Amino acid sequence: MKRSKKVSLPAVPDTGSRTLSSYIDAFRHEQTGQQGSVTRHLRDHTDWILEGWAHERPDLDVSSVAIINRLVLLQSYLHAEIGAVFERFGLTGPSFAVITTLRRVGAPYQLSQRALMDALQLTSGTISVRIDRLMQDGLVERLPDPNDQRGVLVRLTEKGTKLFDQVAPVHLANEDRLLSALNAEQREQLSSLLRILLLSFDPLDSEDPQHPSRWIGASLAPAHVARHIRRSAGLTDAPGLLVQAVAIPSPASEAGLQEGDLIVSAGGTEIRSIDCLHQKLLTVQSGILSLEVLRGTDHHVLYLQVSELPST
């Protein structure tokens, strides 16, 4: 006998006088489209939040919740799982970050305390506390810096190197396990999207020859900063890269870019991130790239002469 497929319903919410049968009917209606087909994705906790707000306050645009809330939830789950591995070795995530940074630079596995602080994007007080704790465990040591009389070098000890060799394979295997729901293609897609978003908060060094600001000769603020500045000035809210300064002479100045301009598109492509502008510059190489900018509320089209880009 052919067995029917069992479908589990979610927990019945408090619906007052609403009957169980009416709840099931509503659930089935929600799970099917106009053609009676099952919806493509299973709902998660965030979906229920979005649906609640869509019913209660349809005037609010809560689309950002779909991403931000999931990132926050994932961070809490991942932090606990990853931290459990470090605890097995008497470590924390922040302390392992110091060890990996020193190990990654190669023998003799050392950096100046200042360089280590910059690499981990920490304050001097925070990095000092982390180093002190690792020194107590015999994992790192401080040495005089021959190139700076007032500076010190932080070096990974033999014990620290051996501990890294123990922890790293276990840690990486654990991270891979935590991503088991995603195949290789999905992981690459997610990684690319997260890179774009992260670059808007943690930008590349503007002195890097590969940075688009160096190519065009203009300092650019990311889209979320640009929107805040324009809102504060009473201007229309639009995503794009805000020109904060223009070098003279430069391709940007020759194109007519001005401080306060908002680059909203390049070569017909919407520009929401420095990565997107980078990709458009790569496609043009030595040539002309059209830029659509907002100057206040006025639209302008400028033409940027792109020189040969530095090799990667």
All structural domains of the chain, each given as residue ranges with its CATH number in brackets, are 20-63 (no CATH), 93-176 (1.10.10.10), 212-306 (2.30.42.10)
Looking at the chain, the whole-number percentage of residues with pLDDT higher than 70 is: 83
**Model confidence band, residue 309 (pLDDT cutoffs 50, 70, 90):** low
Round to whole Å and give the CA distance between 152 and 2.
74
**Helices and strands (H and E) in the chain: how many:** 12, 9
Task: Give the tokens for residue 27.
Answer: 């659930």
pLDDT at 39: 57
Tell me which of 2-11, 116-125, 219-228, 295-304 is least confident. 2-11
Exposed / middle / buried, residue 191 (Cβ in 10 Å: 0-12, 13-18, 19+): exposed
**Would the pTM count as exceeding 0.85?**
no
Q: What is the pLDDT of residues 148-158, one digit of tens each?
A: 888 899 999 99
Give the chain's mean pLDDT: 86
pLDDT at 168: 97
Round to whole Å and give the CA distance between 199 and 202.
5
Task: Give the tokens for residue 52.
Answer: 């609640």
pLDDT at 35: 45
CA neighbor of 237 nearest in space, from 220, 262, 214, 256: 262
Round to whole Å and give the CA distance between 50 and 73.
15
Q: What is the pLDDT of residues 169-217, one digit of tens each?
A: 999 999 999 999 999 999 999 999 999 999 898 766 656 666 777 778 9
Round to whole Å and give the CA distance between 44 and 56.
19
Do residues 154 and 111 touch, judged by C-beta distance below 8 A?
yes
Do residues 159 and 138 touch, judged by C-beta distance below 8 A?
yes
Over range 79-104, report the average pLDDT. 96
Task: Give the tokens for residue 194.
Answer: 């997260």
Task: Give the tokens for residue 207.
Answer: 């002195």
Q: What is the pLDDT of residues 266-291, one digit of tens each?
A: 999 999 999 999 889 888 877 899 99
Do residues 269 and 287 touch, judged by C-beta distance below 8 A?
no
